[in-house]
Structure 1
């Protein structure tokens, strides 16, 4: 039996391994402690001590380590650093999808004090602004929670009383009831240069000025869907943050990178607490606005009646963006994604519930983007009829089948962009007893054999059509009738034959 000093030197991943093993076996800390007691009551850890072990605050004695190892039927050496196993130290997130996790070990290197010093330095060296970093944090938070925020839903329902649809007059009455007044301003689009150096038009649509005034651009009088959204966001800001004095500015245009909201607060070159706070409040208010305009239960019922068609937004008098983002929240199927793309390659609002590797970075332009993604292909192509597309993409070296529906729209500043809502079909196939990886591999091979896209084979089409009908999503059925496409995250890993990526230049012309 090795001594405690040896355990201490080799225990950087010890707590992480124990925690991940416990979770993979669906045990609570109480369960694990009780099982240790059955092995050896004298050496078993208490629940509180076990918690400290998992968090890296304590190193178990050699005897206690032997008990824990016996419970999991492992050798003690397996838990120590000289037996590194990626799976053992990768956080278990189940079906939550989103950004891949990493173990924050050794714990002393990932202490709060060290991170507070290292993060600003990292952002400064890479040229990432504090607001960009804040949006990455928020996106990770969304994906971890599968875009479900019950407290924000409840706050919106208390204000809107689950009414649907809400008219402009309804929202003005709500604002008045909260003690807010509305004044009109006249502003026109102006050119801005974003962090990628691309010039585009931007328009200030409205802003809130403490203590109780909402200033709204006159142009919104002719665009009630945007007027309703702006009013809903400002109502959310007042309800959630109690008119706390933070000036909230809403804009439209390519340069913003939030969920349709930008606070207008000057951006710092590095991260600071105000950047995070402003970005988080923008996100909360935007989410609140969607929940107010499309309350969860009635909106889900409407989607069910219409097979999740995008044009249900017209019945409610809301934008396609609001309706599509709400789909990812209210659907009983959890594996959704949503993109909002501007040319030549800007992903503005992103939600990717199953950790889709992105074809373009939010932070910087990449040199080899895959143009076969529907959301980017549509930017430069005229579109008629449905845009539904079945795609096969490798995620962590396994093929996954996705289906999406995209729509080209123009923002109030005159910029064209493409909205895309979609789902990961692999979990739906597995839920019906199908072998999703096998089906995805066969479909990928059929596409590669035909140069990257191909009609879906009859056997696979039958399987997918059954899943589509169970999901009750019309555009999945339409996508199945079209050719499937192989896509990739970067041209350098293009699975097509011949490759789209040749001699350091992307040939992906869609």
Structure 2
């Protein structure tokens, strides 16, 4: 038996291991405490003491740890630092969100005081702006909750009365009822060179000036779908933040990195609380705008009637971007992703409720990009309309099957970009009694042995067609009719045979 001093020196992961083990066994702290009482009432931890153990505030005695170990049928040493086991210390978030989490241990190094000092230093050394970090936090929060923000949905429904569609005059009437005034201004697109050295254009589409004036670019008169979005965002700032939209400047183009919208605020090289606050308020207003233009229940019913076709945006007079982002929110199937990509490989907006890895580094240029992602293939193709693709991608060293629908569009500044909405099919296959892991492995092997893409095998096509019918998503059926493609998050782990990056040189053009 370990003595208490030994436990203290080797207990940095102990609280995290107990918490993760408890949650993976679907036990509350009350459940675990009661289980411990049944093993040994004298040494069992109370609920409050168990809470302090899990938060790293207390170290259990050797006897108490032995009781907890007995409940979970673990050896005592398993809980100590000598056996860190990644699965035991990594937070279990199921299929929620993008990258995997990490244990914030030793807990004293992740205290608020230390993080407040270390995070700005880290951002300074890596060249990450405060705004970029703010959007990373927001995106992680958004993905963790799989786009469920019922308070924002309710706020939008109270204003819009769940009307679908909303016309321009409806939005103007709402703005007027809130005491907002509209004024038109002249702003022309400007050429800029972004952080990747790419020459592009951007344009300010609208901004708010306190106490109650929304300035709209006259160009919006020719871009009605964008005009509706801008008005909805400013209405959101008015409703949610009491007209606190001083820094809410909306732009079109790829000048700024944004989480889920096209809201631009001045980019700061340092981190401060205002960066986080303004970025969060912008996100809330953008989400509100989507909920106002596409109220959840009516929009879901419309998507069901039309098999989740992207072109439903045309009937509603909204942009494809708004429609596709709302799909990820209103669908009863939670395993969605969404990308907005500009050439040569810039991801302006990302949502990964299904945990799909980013296809191009961390929203930056890398030396070995995978060219086979649908969102990037379409950028370089003179394609009109939409394109569906079935893809196989290794996630955590296991193959998963994805299907996506992509569409090439042009923003108000004249820049071409590609929107992509997709789902993870593995959970749907398993839900129907299929073996997603074996089907994905079989499809991966077929692709790998056929230079990376292959016509869908008949048996797998049948399984996926059944899933497509149940999910009622038409573009899955279209994707099944095309070749399935192997993709990777980075060329260094390319699964194709031969690899696209054999001998360190890209061979994508040959495959």
Tell me the residue number matched to 2:238: 238
What does residue 418 of structure 2 align with? 418
Measured after TM superposition, the shift of residue 364 of structure 1 is 2.7
Q: Is contact 1:210–1:247 with CA below 8 Å preserved after alignment?
A: no
Q: Which residue of the partner structure matches residue 458 of structure 1?
A: 458
Contact 1:262/1:279 (CA < 8 Å) preserved in 2? Answer: no
Q: In the aligned structure 1, how far is the partner of 2:365 from the partner of 2:95? A: 30
Match of 2:428 in 1: 428
Deviations 1:136-194 (A, max 9, x none): 11111111001111111111111111110000100011111111111110100001232
Deviation at 1:503, TM superposition (A): 3.3
Q: Report the counterpart of residue 375 of structure 2 in structure 1.
A: 375
Change (3 A) 1:144 1:245: closer
Q: Is the 8 A contact 2:98 2:354 kept in 1?
A: yes
1:163 equivalent in structure 2: 163
Paired with 2:366 and 2:141, the residues of 1 have a C-alpha distance of 25
Corresponding residue of 2:223: 223
| Partner SS, residue 109 of structure 1 | helix
Offset at residue 359 of structure 1 (A):
1.9
**Is this contact kept in 2: 1:190–1:203, CA < 8 A?**
yes
1:73 Cα offset (Å): 1.2
1:377-424, CA deviations, whole angstroms, 9 ceiling, x for partnerless residues? 101101256410000000110000000000000000000000000000
- Comparing 24-33 and 188-197, the one that deviates more: 188-197
Q: Please tell me whether the aligned partners of residues 348 and 362 of structure 1 are also in contact (alpha carbons under 8 angstroms).
A: no
- What residue in structure 2 maps to residue 28 of structure 1? 28
Cα distance in 2 between the residues matched to 1:502 and 1:354? 30
Correspondence 1:439-478 to 2 at 5 A: 439-478=439-478
* Structure 1 unaligned residues grouped into runs of 5+: none
Partner Cα separation in structure 1 for residue 173 and residue 387 of structure 2: 39
Q: SS of 1:407's equivalent?
A: strand
- Secondary structure at 1:166's aligned position in 2? coil
State the distance in 1 between where 2:191 and 2:385 align.
33
Distance in 2 (CA, whole Å) between partners of 1:489 and 1:408 is 22
Shift of 1:468: 0.6
Cα pair 1:211 1:245 within 8 Å, conserved: no
Q: Could you say which residue in structure 1 is the equivalent of 2:37?
A: 37
Q: Given the two structures, how large is their TM-score scaled by the length of structure 1?
A: 0.98
Give the aligned partner of residue 181 of structure 1. Answer: 181
Q: Which runs of 5+ in 2 are unaligned?
A: none
Q: 2:145 aligned with 1:122, yes or no? A: no
* 1:330-359 deviation digits (Å, cap 9, x = unpaired): 000000000000000100000011222212
Q: Once superposed, which parts of structure 1, at least 4 consecutive aligned residues long, lie more than 6 Å away?
A: none
Report the 3-state secondary structure (helix = DSSP H, G, I; strand = E; otherwise coil) of the residue aligned with 2:128: coil
Q: Where does residue 139 of structure 1 map in the other structure?
A: 139
Match of 2:46 in 1: 46
Corresponding residue for residue 66 of structure 2: 66
* 1:220-258 Cα distance to aligned partner (Å, 9 max, x none): 111111100000000001111112363310000012222
Distance 1:467 1:136 in 2: 33
Q: Note if 1:391 corresponds to 2:391.
A: yes
Matched, 1:284 2:284: yes
**Distance across 2 between alignment mates of 1:127 and 1:491:** 24
Structure 2 CA distance for partners of 1:473 and 1:479, relative to 1, 3 Å: same
**Contact 1:251 1:261 (C-alpha < 8 Å) held by counterparts:** no
Q: Secondary structure at the match of 1:387?
A: strand
Matched residues, number: 510
d(CA) in 2 for partners of 1:176, 1:385: 37
TM-score normalised over the length of structure 2:
0.98
SS in 1 for 2:421: strand
